[in-house]
């Protein structure tokens, strides 16, 4: 069982990673346009963070399966500190881009933290643990814009120095307080033969096997739609409602606050009652409605309704998807498979802003939101095929060799299961 201290350090690790993202997200479009960046260039800079996560997160997961979670979490925090120092020292668009690339390369900490939770929890506690990690992510998005807005009065670089200092402090806390999770996993795996190393091809086959392939497709569509929306939201609201960078800080802070409450307090209870699969279906439907409605609201005050809607949708959707992925994975491959889920999510976060920027610039500023709604609705339809608690789940351990496994008796009977 994961101790409270370990979970606190894990949550702080994810929090610090997302503070950096939150500092930049609402302010970057305005700063980039001052450097002469086009909407497409703005969204490509935003996508650069996720592009590096796309490359590095699966590697972080695979290495953590072999070397342990703790050391990689600590190294990631120090790497994040370097990236935020680059951001603090940036005086051109290219240096801002470099800082986001460096931050993305260090961003594999999230998948490693999820694997740590998966090592250390079972049943309903796993969804609760994933929800708390998600709450830390939402809190980072919430307070990041506030930090950026407050400290930017002393210059654009000041928020970067603050984020770097937080990373350093958190790394020291992890060195002192965070135990290795491998002893949890080893205790649960006692009596089983050790897992054999697998090839990249076998790893990809396991990701494509049912139901993992279906779950990851839903994740790709929904996270891609959400990333697309956030990448052009500031540009859209600036042009339509003349909202400023300060206004956008309020928007993202409010969304983060709702996400913290939902992920930290509500998602575990919802999953316990209806299961992850049903939660995912409702989350995708709410997301589709809220993203599509952005383009048709008559004034900015309607955002007071839409912000909680999309925050609730993401707050229940993404932790439930992460829990489904971890439950469909054998204990010795949690890092690899959760890293693979970050591969799918990272691809969505890279492609989403790019196509949104293209549509915004070339077709119409409201077009990306209509496409986001359609993709999220498609994800809700796909989610109807995700197995529920009474359905059998194929054991991915068999997928390494291309076979078909039997249902996992623990996961299949779990009241908070998929």
**Spatial distance between the Cα atoms of 35 and 21, rounded to a whole number of angstroms:** 20
**Helix, strand, or coil here: 401?**
coil
Query: How high is the pLDDT of residue 86?
Result: 86
**Spatial distance between the Cα atoms of 47 and 38, rounded to a whole number of angstroms:** 14
Task: Indicate if the alpha-carbon torsion angle 400, 401, 404, 408 is positive or negative.
Answer: negative
Query: How high is the pLDDT of residue 390?
Result: 47
121, 1 Cβ separation under 8 angstroms: yes
Cα distance between the two ends of the chain: 21
Q: How high is the mean pLDDT in each 10-residue block of the chain (418 residues)?
A: 64 78 76 81 86 77 77 86 85 84 80 77 68 74 79 76 86 81 52 51 67 87 94 92 85 84 84 89 95 93 92 90 76 63 81 94 94 95 79 38 29 30
328, 394 Cβ separation under 8 angstroms: yes
Query: How high is the pLDDT of residue 331?
Result: 57
44, 354 Cβ separation under 8 angstroms: yes
Q: Calculate the alpha carbon distances from 150 to 18, 20, 153, 158, 209 in Å.
A: 17, 14, 6, 9, 47
Domains and CATH numbers, the chain: 4-184+199-413 (1.20.1250.20)
Neighbours of 176 (CB within 10 A): 9
Task: Indicate if the alpha-carbon torsion angle 351, 356, 357, 362 is positive or negative.
Answer: positive
301, 247 Cβ separation under 8 angstroms: no
Residue of 20, 245, 45, 251 whose CA lies nearest to 147: 20
**Spatial distance between the Cα atoms of 296 and 369, rounded to a whole number of angstroms:** 10
257, 308 Cβ separation under 8 angstroms: no
pLDDT in tens, 119-172: 776 666 676 777 777 777 767 877 888 787 777 777 767 788 888 888 888 888
Residue of 78, 96, 105 whose CA lies nearest to 25: 96
Cis ω before 211 (30° cut-off from 0): yes
Query: How high is the pLDDT of residue 418?
Result: 31
- As a whole number of angstroms, the longest Cα–Cα distance in the chain is 63
Task: Give, as one character, the DSSP assignment of residue 35.
Answer: T
Query: How high is the pLDDT of residue 349?
Result: 86
338, 39 Cβ separation under 8 angstroms: no
Query: How high is the pLDDT of residue 150?
Result: 77
Q: Helix H segments across 35-68?
A: 39-67
Query: How high is the pLDDT of residue 400?
Result: 32
Query: How high is the pLDDT of residue 405?
Result: 28
Cα 288 to its chain centre, rounded Å, is 18
**Spatial distance between the Cα atoms of 314 and 260, rounded to a whole number of angstroms:** 11
Quote the pTM value: 0.72
Mean pLDDT of the chain: 78
């Amino acid at each position: 069982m994961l101790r409270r201290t370990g979970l606190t350090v894990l949550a702080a690790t994810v929090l610090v990673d997302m503070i950096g993202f939150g500092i930049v997200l609402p302010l970057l479009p305005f700063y980039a346009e001052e450097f002469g960046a086009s909407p497409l260039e703005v969204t490509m800079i935003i996508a650069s963070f996720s592009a590096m996560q796309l490359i590095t997160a699966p590697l972080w997961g695979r290495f953590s399966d072999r070397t342990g979670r703790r050391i990689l979490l600590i190294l990631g925090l120090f790497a994040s500190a370097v990236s935020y120092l680059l951001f603090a020292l940036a005086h051109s668009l290219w240096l801002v881009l470099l800082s986001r690339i460096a931050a993305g390369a260090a961003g594999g900490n999230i998948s490693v933290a999820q694997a740590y939770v998966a090592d250390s929890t079972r049943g309903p506690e796993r969804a609760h643990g994933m929800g708390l990690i998600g709450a830390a992510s939402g809190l980072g998005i919430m307070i990041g814009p506030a930090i950026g807005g407050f400290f930017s009065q002393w210059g654009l670089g000041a928020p970067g120095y603050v984020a770097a200092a937080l990373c350093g402090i958190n790394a020291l806390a992890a060195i002192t307080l965070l135990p290795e999770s491998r002893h949890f996993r080893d205790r649960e795996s006692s009596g089983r033969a050790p897992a054999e190393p697998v090839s990249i091809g076998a790893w990809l086959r396991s990701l494509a096997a049912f139901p993992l392939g279906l779950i990851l497709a839903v994740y790709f569509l929904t996270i891609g739609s959400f990333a697309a929306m956030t990448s052009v939201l500031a540009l859209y609201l600036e042009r339509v409602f003349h909202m400023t960078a300060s206004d956008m800080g309020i928007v993202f802070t409010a969304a983060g606050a709702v996400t913290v409450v939902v992920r930290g307090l509500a998602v575990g209870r919802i999953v316990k009652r209806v299961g992850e699969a049903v939660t995912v279906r409702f989350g995708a439907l709410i997301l589709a409605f809220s993203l599509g409605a952005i383009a048709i609201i008559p004034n900015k005050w309607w955002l007071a309704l839409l912000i909680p809607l999309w925050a609730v949708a993401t707050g229940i959707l993404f932790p439930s998807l992460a829990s489904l992925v971890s439950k469909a994975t054998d204990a010795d491959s949690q890092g690899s498979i959760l890293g693979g889920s970050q591969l799918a999510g990272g691809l969505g976060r890279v492609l989403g802003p790019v196509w949104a920027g293209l549509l915004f610039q070339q077709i119409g500023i409201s077009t990306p939101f209509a496409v986001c709604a359609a993709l999220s609705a498609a994800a809700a339809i796909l989610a109807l095929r995700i197995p529920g608690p009474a359905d059998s789940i194929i054991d991915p351990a068999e997928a390494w060799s291309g076979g078909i496994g039997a249902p996992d008796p623990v996961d299949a009977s779990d009241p908070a299961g998929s």
